[in-house]
Structure 1
Amino acid sequence: MKAPADLLLLPQWVVPIESAGARDSAHTGSVGRSGSPHPCGALADHAVVVQDGMILDVLPADAAQGRYHAAQTVALPSHALIPGLVNLHGHAAMSLLRGFADDLPLMTWLNEHIWPAEKRLVSDAFVRDGTLLAAAEMLAGGVTCCNDMYYFPQAAGEAFLQAGMRATLGMIVLEFPSAYASDADDYLAKGLALRDALKDEPLLSFAFAPHAPYTITDATFGRINTLAEQLGLPIHTHIHETADEIRDSLQQHGMRPLERLARLGLLGPNFIGVHAVHVNDAEIELLAQHGCHLAHCPSSNLKLASGIAPVAKLTAAGVNLGFGTDGAASNNRLDLFGEMRLAALLAKGTSGMATALPAAAALKAATLDAARALNLDSQIGSIVAGKRADLVAVDLHALSSQPVFDPVSHLVYVAGREHVTHVWVDGILKLHDRKLVDLDIDDLSARATYWRTKLTA
């Protein structure tokens, strides 16, 4: 008798991300029909079996059809099936500020345009609408999980749940007042209340999100560090994004920002630094020694003229790296396929080594390594029996994709988010044949137009 299953997926290739040796011994089908795995790690003519939102099995397609009786079978004859992409750093609600203040350096952009606009407009409604717009864009582009940092995180959480997208909600902390909170104590209190209110939602997790060393005092960092250790939560903050940030820290504190955070005890396996554009060799070694994680945001760093992170040195030192889009106001796309390709090319160009950040490493950074930074790698990030079924089908049939020698190489250097046809989160279909299943595109567009009118009035 065949075993029951909810879903049987039959792609041309399964790209599990984790190597055969790293997968559970009970997980069958680690080789293709030829008897050996594809040299890039992709499994040809394999199936993925899903039950109750979980990956039940990965095995050769013939064996799967003989072993399982699925309520639904989806044939994907020209597709690569990959784990859902993980956006390790973003400000989802800022999708409503896309293109608002372009072609400006970071501090001018923030001080003279973004922060004044946010002071006027940011509210529960703004964050809910902006986050829903961002979730739609990300899901359509194969991003199934993001690490978000913004005001009114409860409204963001409600929007992510409405979209059916996985998210880590940043409990944002600043010293100065906003429409959301009055001071650091108020930000922390509201963040902790948010965690208490939504901690039982399976698609949501939480992180402390102090904005940056230049907006947080030592005392507040100390309190955050204590709470993070008590609750076992990540700390997610901008770090070494610009040369000005480092110069100002030297003037104010007599040390560079990373040294300051190290002295405060913040560096460790729960630390996610964002950007890390201006890090020297000693700081790279410091990050590696402490087991820190970095969110590399190449498009945003280039657009704001902040610089280029030394990715080849960081990965050579063993620093765990994921990719982030940053907000749509500074990118202006929430496109992780674009970030993968750009990151790989920049690593090669800046290091002078064509072997820097190869395709397989870039794809792993966008999936399993980013999940690891969020403490979610036991749940998502690879196609392994026992993990949640966050899955993305990428069609490599187009003429621009032919011929396919190596599907992993194509996923990084050839494919784009326009090639994503199907997306599942927790086994639930979110994108079908390039069309969002649950979200009304016309409604989202109307909301965006409303906020554009408010912003320009």
Structure 2
Amino acid sequence: MNTPAETVDTLLHPGWIIPVAPAGQILRNHSLAIRGEQIVAVMPRAESAKLQAAEVFELPDHALLPGLINAHGHAAMSLLRGYADDLSLMPWLEQHIWPAEGRHVSDEFVADGVALAITEMLRAGTTTFSDMYFYPDACARVAQRMGMRCQISFPVLDFPTAWARDADDYISKGLALRDAVKHSHLISVGFGPHAPYTVSHPNLAKVAMLAAELDASIQIHLHETRGEVLQAVEAHGERPLDSLHRLGLLGPRTQCVHMTDLGEQDIALLAETGAQVVHCPQSNMKLASGACPVARLLAAGVNVALGTDSAASNNGLNLFGEMRSAALLAKLTSSDASALSATQALYMATLGGARALGLDEQIGSLETGKLADLIAVDLSGPETQPVYNPVSQLVYACNGSQVTHSWIGGQLRLRERELQGIDLAAITARTEYWQQRITGTQQ
């Protein structure tokens, strides 16, 4: 008597599977099976005959890899893309971005900006993003509706904004959001103290205490420029990283964003505490903020993830561009062509990002039992031919437009470049409305 075939929801037959873990592995003639939210098998194709799938995808020219993880950004600022370009960080913030935000940021602004950002990220292979911005409840609402995985770091500042009055108000509202979404499979919430120069030491200590009690993540802009570090030394007699360590803020749950100005003692402290680093190469280059010493961090055992920062300072949310920029910038700044390999750059955009966000047991690699967050990238075009090494093509030749399919928790979000369940025309119309409102040309 024949044994009934095991049933799965989705069966994928790609040209290559790049699982990311174990490192450097590239699988040919293999298949991947999804049931519910999870990957249930990665197997030689011949063994997949024992499976009966509701839907089968033949993808002979595609590389299948984990969905990319954008470990730092401000999604709603997509509505300010190109608003104030070619300026250094503080004039850009103080004279243009902060005034524009003061006039326009609202629940409605954030909801529309996040929707625009999610469509862009999905089309370029990102399946998880981290967000730090005002009205984080609007971000959570839109990400949940659009089926996008998201870590929200609710902002904490000393001064009032449209969303909150003071640090206590930011924290109170942020913790209420954390409680409201605690059962979500897609949304997680942690603390987002903006930076050491916008949050006082007593309030940073309060964040450290609460985060420890709740076992919550902390994301903070840190050592973004040399000027920031020098000002901190003048004001407090110590470097910002040392201040955070003294206040109890550094640890494996802490995500240190930018980190362009680092000495050997800083790198040793990061390694000792297990803190995470999020590298935003394109934003840092565009604002002339400096370059994160990625190769030195990795050599010291520090985990490094990749982020885009906002579309206002980048001007895109494309992790393929960040991977390429990270690899090239590391080579240039170290005068070492082997400083950051394509394999390492891909790790930073996948499992390194998952580890930074505390999600590495769930996502970031294609392994049995993990959530089915994955993308298929078509390498058949002339831009990516011939394929000697698919990882090199992904990092150095792809621009995101080669992503044809995307799954998040086993749900298909992009099929043959078409977004699923997302009204792109409506999002575009709302974007045009905000552009006219911000520039004062609204009819």
TM-score range, shorter chain: over 0.9
Q: 1:46 aligns with which of 30, 50, 57?
A: 30
Deviating above 2 A after TM superposition, structure 1's stretches of 4 or more consecutive aligned residues are none
Alignment partner, residue 70 of structure 1: 53
Alignment partner, residue 225 of structure 2: 242
- Of 394-403 and 322-331, more deviation after overlay is shown by 394-403
Alignment of 1:25-104 (within 5 A): 40-64=24-48, 66-104=49-87
Shift of 1:403: 1.2
Alignment partner, residue 7 of structure 2: 4
Alignment of 1:115-264 (within 5 A): 115-264=98-247
Distance 2:434 2:239 in 1: 39
Q: Which amino acid aligns with 1:302?
A: M
Q: Which amino acid aligns with 1:17?
A: V
Note the alpha carbon deviations across 1:247-276, whole angstroms, 9 max, x for none.
Answer: 211121111111111111111111100000
Shift of 1:370: 0.7
Shift of 1:185: 0.2
Alignment partner, residue 422 of structure 1: 405
Alignment partner, residue 26 of structure 1: none
Q: Which amino acid aligns with 2:425?
A: D
Distance 1:415 1:449 in 2: 29
Shift of 1:51: 0.2
Distance 2:92 2:337 in 1: 34
The alignment partner of 1:213 has SS state of coil
The alignment partner of 2:164 has SS state of coil
Alignment partner, residue 95 of structure 2: 112
- Cα contact 2:177–2:189 (8 A) shared by 1: no
Alignment of 1:320-331 (within 5 A): 320-331=303-314
- Cα contact 2:73–2:310 (8 A) shared by 1: yes
- Of 384-393 and 404-413, more deviation after overlay is shown by 404-413
Alignment partner, residue 403 of structure 1: 386
Shift of 1:246: 1.1
Distance 1:379 1:41 in 2: 19
Q: 1:16 aligns with which of 7, 19, 24?
A: 19
Alignment partner, residue 32 of structure 1: none
- Cα contact 2:104–2:438 (8 A) shared by 1: yes
Distance 2:141 2:97 in 1: 24
Distance 1:416 1:288 in 2: 33
Distance 1:17 1:174 in 2: 37
Distance 1:311 1:216 in 2: 27
The alignment partner of 2:197 has SS state of helix
Note the alpha carbon deviations across 1:223-259, whole angstroms, 9 max, x for none.
Answer: 1111111111111000000122112111211111111
Note the alpha carbon deviations across 1:9-48, whole angstroms, 9 max, x for none.
Answer: 110001000018xxxxxxxxxxxxxxxxxxx411001111
Gaps of 5+ in 1: 21-39
Distance 1:410 1:325 in 2: 20
Distance 2:153 2:241 in 1: 20
Q: Normalised by the size of structure 2, how large is the TM-score?
A: 0.98
Shift of 1:438: 1.5
Q: 1:432 aligns with which of 415, 429, 437?
A: 415
Distance 1:170 1:127 in 2: 14
Note the alpha carbon deviations across 1:353-377, whole angstroms, 9 max, x for none.
Answer: 2221111111011000110111101
Alignment partner, residue 307 of structure 1: 290
Shift of 1:310: 1.0
Q: 1:287 aligns with which of 238, 245, 270?
A: 270
Distance 1:82 1:377 in 2: 15
Distance 1:233 1:17 in 2: 26
Alignment of 1:249-398 (within 5 A): 249-398=232-381
The alignment partner of 1:267 has SS state of coil
- Pairwise CA RMSD of aligned residues? 0.9
Shift of 1:435: 1.3
Distance 1:348 1:51 in 2: 41
Distance 2:383 2:79 in 1: 32
- Cα contact 2:178–2:190 (8 A) shared by 1: no
The alignment partner of 2:72 has SS state of strand
Aligned length: 437
Alignment partner, residue 23 of structure 1: none
